[in-house]
Structure formats: C-alpha cells, structure tokens
Chains A and B, each alone.
Chain A
Amino acid sequence: MEEKIKQKEQLLLQGNVACARGALAAGLDFFAGYPITPSTEIAEYLARHLPKYGGKFIQMEDEIASMAAVIGASIAGAKAMTATSGPGFSLMQENIGYAYMAEVPSVVVNVQRGGPSTGLPTKVSQSDTMQARWGTHGDYNSITLAPSSVRECFDLTVRAMNLAEKYRTPVVVLMDEVLGHMREKVTLPQPDEIKVINRWKPTVPPEWYQHFEINPHYVSPMAIFGEGYRFNVTGLTHDPLGFPTARSKEIKDKLDKLRNKIEHNVNDIVQVKEEFMEDATCAIFAYGSAARSARQAIRMARQKRIKVGLIQPFTVWPFPEVYMEHMSERLDMILVVELNQGQLVNEVMRTNCGKTRIRKLNRYDGEIITPDEIFHKLREVR
C-alpha cells in the first residue's frame, strides 16, 4: 500500500520505517539482523521490501552473526546494514571492531533503549553515546550520526550509507526508542534529489593492487571478492597487502591510517544544525529525541525574551570540536541535555576548557525529557 503512494506526497511514517526507507534510497543491497525491541520494525520492513529491489535480507542466529554477515556481504560487494538495540549493539562490538580494522563499509543502526543489560526494552535512552565511540577494544575513530525526527532518520541513514562507502568504515546511526516508534508527517525526497555515494574501486591491474594501500587520501580503493584481485582480509594488524604484521612501522602506519581518514576529513563528515543561534547568548546542546524537547523549550524561552539557541550535532562522532571551541568563546552558557547520566557533556567540557559555563540536564528514568523541565532548568542556570 505504502509503495503506491509517491514519495513526494506527505506520509505518516514511523522513525524505524523512515530509517529503512533511507537505506533503500541509498542503495542498500544486504541486511542481516536479529529481532530486538525497539528496532525490529527496520528488519520487518526490509524483509518485505528489500527483495523487491533484488536485495537480500537474512535473519541470523544472533547479533554477532548479523554483524559478521554484514561484513562478509560488504566484502563481496554489497551495500550492507544491520539494525539493533543496546544488548545487540554490545554483542556486535567485536565484529564492529573487525570492520574498523579491515576497513569494511557497513552501517549499524542502534535504536537505543535503557540499559545496562536488558534494561528497558520499550523505554527511551541515549546511554549508548559513548559506546558508539569506544564500544570495541583498541584505538580507532568512529563516525556516529544522531537524527532527531522521522525525516532526519531517513536523511541520516542515507548519509550513513554514503559515509561508510566513502571512508571504508562502519558508521553508527544512533536513534532511540522514541524516535524509532514515533510516527510523524513527512515528505521524503525524490530519488533524483538523493545523492548516493559508491565506494572507490581500484583501476590498477590486480598485481599492483593493495587492499589497504596507504595514500594521501587515507582511504584505499576497495576491490571486492570474485573480480580478480584476490586480496587477503584479516582482523590481525596488517601491512598494506593485508598480510599480518608485527613490524612496528607497519603497525603504526595502519593505526595512523584509521585515525587520519576520519581526522583529516572532519570538515566533510561533521554536521551541526543550528536554530535560533543568530542572536543567542546561550545555547542548549542536544541531540536525538532530547533535541525535540529542547527546541520546544527554546520557543518557550524566546517568548520570555531569553536569547537562547539550539546546537544539534547530527554528527555525535567525530565530536564537532572546532565548532564547539568557537561556541565556548561566543556563548555565556551551554546547557547540555541528554537522556543519560551525562555522556556527551564531558566532550563539551573537554573542548570548552573552562571558557564558558557548562550546565547539564539529564534524565534516565525511561521517560522523555519534557520542554517544561528544560525551560525551568534554563531559567535557573542562565
């Protein structure tokens, strides 16, 4: 039924469905997943719709296997994604680390619920923010995007697929239960309005090909299985050919490459959305569903002539450091609102270096933070 409605028309869509449709719009070929609340609708939607486009959907035996299958499919040339929630995200971590190390384009959607452990399957939380950055062992840099509306679920999933392909890295989309299950009126872009990025393929003959070539872009062209390049992929620290190494220089080169491909491209990766910031003297820093309440709180504050604006990072990781350093100099106060005990606020404080006042407002009882709560906090700390 949904298919018969043209995309430019207004739709009433759930965040999870918008995420799935975004992935399809970005050219998804492969989805592997395991049922988990509150993300299951993404798998259900793709089980039904992905094969229509010739794509493959598979329900694996657990989340460990799901992430593994996504990586395998990507190496065989598919644009691949999985979706999960906290406990599944924890299980995926080892293989997410593999995807960082082996530089495999892949997208992991985490529709967050309360934790730790089984926690609150049907309640909202933003407590996986740090796990998205540091979830797996070792040194690496993460790309993590956080939408706050149904339309943003669509747009940022498209962007996550594109960034994964462009930088040969896993990309995390941090949604949350409210966002995943909320239905909102949206207009989706036409296919020709959507920019789709495909991975950079090698043009050299197979005997010259290095699967992990070190070059000035820090991103290597990526051949796929079955096309004559016959490369090796391993989770062991490896040389540019993909063979395990224990040589200090090759180890350092590899780890530098993983860092540099993100750090040297922050200007391309980082996106921050501003609202009411032109004349703002203070700001609320919020992402995900907390940003929705923050926006309403700002409207309330503006009626009381409080000059407050909204800083909403679409890119949680890499953290918008340069932008926030600049904001720390410009603003009198930044209120960080999160649905956890305080995670990204530590990054705000780190980049602030004491330049301005940082205040925080946290809720972690399974309920969404209300505009009233934020408004009262704002009046108290401004």
Chain B
Amino acid sequence: MEQMTQVTHRYLRTKKKFPSVWCSGCGIGIVFGAIIRAVDNLKLGKDQIAMVSGIGCSSRMPVYADFNTLHTTHGRALAFATGVKLAKPELHVIVITGDGDGLAIGGNHFIHSARRNIGITTILLNNNTYAMTGGQYSPCTPFDKFGTTAPFGNVERSFDPCDLAKGSGAVFVARGTTYHVIQLQKLVEKAIMKRGFSLVEVVCHCSTIYGRLNREGTAVKMMEWQRDHAVSIQAAQRMSPEKLRDKFLTGVLWDIEFPEYCEEYEKVIKRAQGKVNL
C-alpha cells in the first residue's frame, strides 16, 4: 500500500493545493489511482501524456495530474482531444469524462470520435448522475431511479455506454468498476496501448449525491453492490441468462482491428504531396 501511494505521489502536482474537490468516499480517486498505476506500469513518460477532460466531478481529475492537462468546456473533451491528437499524434491522449459530460451534452462527439477511430483513450466514469450540480438525472440514470430533476422516478431509458461505443465504431471497449481496482488498471493499460478509439467505462460509485438520493447506503455498501453484480465476460459465458438478469458485464467486451485515423491521415499527406499515386 505504501509503495502504491509513493507511485501515485510521483504523478501528482505538488504545486496544486490539496485536498481535491471530491467528496470523502468518492470513487473518482480510485479511478485516478488506477490510471496513474497503469501509466507507471507502461513506463510512459509524463510528457508523452495529454489528459483532456470536460466538465463535472470526474473532469476535475487532470488538474491534479502531472501530465499535459486540458480541462475544457462541458461535453467537448473529445473534440478538443481530437485537435491535440491530430496535431501531435505521438502523444498518448487520455480523455476523462462522465456519463452526463460524455453521453448527453457530449454524445455527438462521443459517437463521432469512435466512428473516426482516432487514437484516444476515453475513460468514462459512470456514476449515474450529474453529481457536481447536485444529482440531476443523467443519460445513465437507470429507469425508475431518482434524481433531483426526477423526484418521482426516472421515466427515461439509460444508455449502455459500451454498446454505444461499439455501435459507433470503437475498436476497444471495456468495463471496470471502482471495486475491482487491479482489473481496472489492466483495462486502462490495454486501452492506452490500443491503436484507435478505446473506451473504458468505469462503474463509479457516488455515495454523497446519487447514493443518498436512491438510498443506496455508504460508499462501502455501493462498492459491495458492484462486487455482487459485476460478472466478468469470461464467467458470464458459463452462466444462464436467468442468473445474468440483474448483473452487468466487466472486462474487455470488444476488441477489433481497424486503421487508426491519424495514421490514415499521414497517408493523405503523402497522397497530396504526390508521393503516392492515387
């Protein structure tokens, strides 16, 4: 544990005054730790990483990280990141977003970044709510659950971010949780090393806002719920549909090969310069 903390500290900005904006018991710090350990394990230099985020609780992550960091406008992280990646393809671009930021206001950029297959690693922290603004229902608030703007229960269906990414053309789609931290680190490592658009959805507990509104108990209770309801995709193959009914899948859900956008654009440059015949 002490060793792990030392690794984390090496990647934090010392000039930035802690504590962070996150509530006690929040899951975002766990995800942050997993990302840092993934970067450390992959031996990527801090200068090689650009961390880009939008607006919301999870999007406050980059300011604490000692990388090239860009905290953008609400929902637009992927569009800013597209500019960063295309202008400097040698950077590892990691986008930190949430369910509201990435799938509601930023939904269009999400599907088009996946379709374009630009080499961006997207970590989507799904806490089922708009936590920073106090708990309004999001595109990932489950049917019948509560938000401050759904005081009588949510009557909208929720997105499955992984299905959405897969359907939009992402080449790597995975889901982890804030309970399964070692698995999460491995998934982030795989996503960073994947050429093309990759998504890791993190089922992230929010006990202060979403948990209270829905009487889900403490952070520990919410993480225990994750433990009891997450099924790895390998284990799921041996389970009956009956048993899987109230479960969700974790692990690498989708992994295919397709040419990455920036690499393809290099070919466009060669064609335009007449180095390759059309």
Binding site for B on A (CB under 8 A): 29-30, 32, 48-49, 51-52, 54, 56, 58, 60-62, 64-66, 68-78, 80, 94-95, 98, 225-236, 241, 243-244
Q: Shortest Cβ distance from A254 into chain B, in angstroms?
A: 15
Q: Does B231 belong to the interface (CB within 8 Å)?
A: no
**A48 to B112, Cβ gap below 8 A?**
no
A-B contact count (CB 8 A): 140
Query: With A30-B87, A226-B48 given, can you name 6 additional A-B contacts, CB distance below 8 Å?
Result: A29-B87, A68-B73, A74-B83, A76-B83, A235-B71, A236-B71
Q: A68: shortest Cβ distance to chain B, in Å?
A: 4
Among the interface residues B47, B70, B81, which one has the most CB atoms of the partner chain A within 10 A?
Answer: B70
Which 10 pairs across A and B sit closest by C-beta, in order of nearness?
A72-B83, A68-B79, A69-B83, A51-B272, A65-B79, A73-B83, A73-B87, A76-B87, A234-B71, A72-B80
* 10 A-B pairs (CB sep. < 8 Å): A64-B76, A68-B76, A72-B52, A73-B87, A76-B83, A95-B76, A225-B68, A226-B68, A228-B47, A241-B15
- Residue from A229, A230, A243 with most neighbouring chain B CB atoms (10 Å): A230
The binding surface of chain B is classed by DSSP as helix
Closest to B70 in A: A233
Most buried by B among A71, A73, A76: A76
CA gap between A14 and B10 in the complex, in Å: 55
How distant is the Cα of A227 from the Cα of B67 in the complex, in angstroms?
A: 11
Kindly list chain A residues whose C-beta atoms are within 8 Å of the C-beta of B13.
Answer: 232
In the complex, chain B residues whose CB is within 8 Å of the CB of A60: 79, 82, 112
On whether the beta carbons of B88 and A226 are closer than 8 Å, the reply is yes
- Summarize A's interface: helix, strand, loop or mixed: mixed
Are A231 and B76 CB-contacts (below 8 A) given A56-B265, A61-B109, A225-B50?
Answer: no
CB contact between A230 and one of B66, B76, B269, B273 (< 8 Å): that residue = B66
B108 in contact (CB, < 8 A): yes
Are the C-beta atoms of B47 and A77 separated by less than 8 Å? no
How far is A52 from B87 in the complex, measured between Cα atoms in Å? 15
Set B47, B63, B79, B80: member contacting A226, Cβ < 8 A: B47
Q: Mask for B84-113, Cβ within 8 A of A = 1, else 0?
A: 111110110000000000000000110010
- Tell whether B72 is near chain A: CB-to-CB under 8 Å: yes
Please, how many angstroms separate the alpha-carbon atoms of A197 and B88 in the complex? 21
Contact of A76 among B16, B50, B62, B271 (CB under 8 A): B50
Asked if B69 is at the interface (CB within 8 A of a chain A CB), the reply is yes
Q: What residues of B have a CB within 8 angstroms of the CB of A48 in the complex?
A: 272
